[in-house]
Amino acid sequence: MTTPAGGATLASTMMKRATVESTADAYLELLAARGVEYFFANAGTDFAPIIEAYARRSAQGQASPRPITVPHEVPAVAMAHGYTMVSGRPQVVMVHVIVGAGNAAGGVINAARANVPILFSAGRNPITEAGSAGSRDRPIHWAQEAFDQAGMLREFVKWDYELKRFDQLETVVDRGLTLAQSEPRGPVYLTLPREVLAERHEAIEYADPARAVVPAETLPDPRAIDEAAAILAAARNPVIITKALGRDPAAVPALVRFAETLGAPVFDQFHTHVNFPQDIRSMRASSRSTAASNPRPTSARPTPSS
């Protein structure tokens, strides 16, 4: 994805053509072009076109996200979750149809509550019984049918979609990645029918860089900041409670300066990120500042987090 700096114009978009053999092949081409580094997977019969595409691309020396086979869906989502938290770049998870999505649900909920952008995907049970390379060919393909596969996760993803056609692939991938990275960030869910993945094609043309961009940072109203500063300056015993400020690593040193300037203790409340240095020196700095500016005993006292 391309993120323009504030006030900058986007780089000119060029069209790129890549040789592929299937929709699955084109999907891997697009993921690599959009900066996805890892493809965390727990496979089933819906993965055959993906595996064939990986084998061909490897033999031809074409770039693809690195495939990571994970024995269970929960750690697969957790690995994408953790890598994205550290790198800031969304990764891809793919699981096996409705049953894999069911196993992965807890991890998707975790990502949603932690505002972690993930392109979560699952194969879709074959729709047709004959006539396509991806049609049903095993008894389990009837047992695993679902009327609304995305329904169980719709409450916990920002967007869900089922890929219908090869010619919409670029739009769907770019939209999913853009929405996942837009604030408030979170996972999106893409369902991939086996018939569509297995369709034969010779090439894909796509914009490079992507036409879709990650939205610029959102900023608060300066008047609201002034009002908050006035309230804090007048406070007798200010306390800072934080949960996920560390989602932006640049905000951590800013919080340290703010706490020391204000003379306020900092409490991590059920935190999901490292929001404030956990060393004693940092905590003591806030404690000394608080004691100097508030000579009266207070009920709120800073303590090192366990």
Q: How confident is the model at residue 301 (pLDDT cuts 50, 70, 90)?
A: very low
Q: For residue range 222-278, what is the model confidence (pLDDT) as tens digits?
A: 999 999 999 999 999 999 999 889 888 889 999 999 998 998 999 888 888 889 988
- Mean pLDDT, the chain, whole residue set: 85
Instruction: Please state the domain extents for the chain.
Output: 14-208, 222-293
Q: For residue range 135-158, what is the model confidence (pLDDT) as tens digits?
A: 767 767 666 777 888 899 999 999
**Sequence-distant (≥ 6) Cβ neighbours of residue 233 within 8 angstroms:** none
In terms of C-beta density within 10 A (0-12 exposed, 13-18 middle, 19 or more buried), how is residue 146 classed? middle
CATH 3.30.70.250 fits 14-208, yes or no: no
Q: For residue range 23-46, what is the model confidence (pLDDT) as tens digits?
A: 999 999 999 999 999 999 999 888
Q: Can you give the pLDDT at residue 147? A: 82
Q: Can you give the pLDDT at residue 141? A: 66
